[in-house]
Copies of this chain bind each other. A is one copy, B any other.
């Protein structure tokens, strides 16, 4: 079954609500200024997996489904995610995302900076509609942490001497934090107890780490058609991720130096990138990385099993499997 088909099946119980979220998103991202509007529409044309939206809705539904409050919350999280992607693409100087030109490539860096800021501003308005000060704080802390995560990423660029712990902390800041905030936010709005909120927060952290590890694996193993971007993209950006760290860990110095030489170039050639990608694939690094992803996935599932069985719990467990098994 394709990834898209799997997700459609998984999210079939909240399918209609997901559509309302999409519709509200488009409505709320609209500006009176044509240029901003057109850039926002362009950014929206490249749809993601709606994972954050689904997690927010399902985490609420697991406890008590108050869709009228979960709606602005889930739109807000998906919107802030889009805002960070738009700014990340400027920082990475990326020209395509999921096969389409990025906002910076199409409209220039200035419009991309302002579109990101505009979406942040709009997100704040959506968060206000939830009318829960815990959500306000969660939103602020999450966005601040994601920014710190991106700085983290910039600082660890091209560095092959970093520990696995450092890598895990970085992806926690950069990715898992927002995924966890969706789950925590859903649980808060659903009226969860402190214990339930803590469980869902930790479920999100573990799921988010597993998600990012798999994303980083796919950059080594995926093909351009399935992940929508060329394999080795992280390497090209100078980003050292788990597969490379594992591959380097047990290697002789000679190999490490050769990889370092490639990574330290301003613009390594496709052939050089390809050499590193093939070398990583030839080691145990991919299976070791997948093992670590499965470890976090298992933790996420274990945390969920503290909740009584329900259709929502079952879906949230399947989401964990999907995140690890997906091919893009």
Contacts and interface: CB of A to CB of B under 8 A. Distances in A.
Given A91-B110, A143-B117, A154-B110, A124 B148 contact: no
Contacts of A128: 133, 136-137, 139-140
B147 A114 contact: yes
27 contacts: A31-B144, A33-B148, A35-B151, A36-B147, A36-B148, A90-B109, A90-B110, A90-B113, A91-B114, A110-B154, A114-B154, A117-B143, A118-B147, A120-B120, A121-B140, A121-B141, A121-B146, A121-B147, A122-B140, A123-B140, A124-B127, A124-B136, A124-B139, A125-B140, A128-B133, A128-B139, A136-B136
A151 B120 contact: no
Give the number of copies in the complex: 2
Given A33-B151, A91-B113, 18 more contacts: A33-B148, A36-B148, A84-B117, A87-B114, A90-B109, A90-B113, A91-B110, A109-B109, A111-B151, A113-B113, A120-B120, A121-B142, A121-B146, A124-B124, A125-B144, A127-B136, A128-B139, A128-B140
A5 interface: no
A155 B35 contact: yes
A233 B49 CA distance: 46
Contacts of A308: none
A326 to B, nearest CB: 29
Given A124-B143, A128-B136, A140-B124, A114 B33 contact: no
Nearest to A123: B140
Contacts of A148: 31-33, 36, 118
Nearest to A93: B110
Contacts of A327: none
B111 A87 contact: no
Interface in A75-133: 84, 87, 90-91, 109-111, 113-114, 116-118, 120-128, 131, 133
A140 B150 CA distance: 24
A322 interface: no
A152 interface: yes
Interface of A: 31-33, 35-36, 84, 87, 90-91, 109-111, 113-114, 116-118, 120-128, 131, 133, 136-137, 139-144, 146-148, 150-152, 154-155
Contacts of A133: 128, 131
A82 to B, nearest CB: 13
A154 B124 contact: no
Contacts of A136: 124-125, 127-128, 136
A87 B87 CA distance: 12
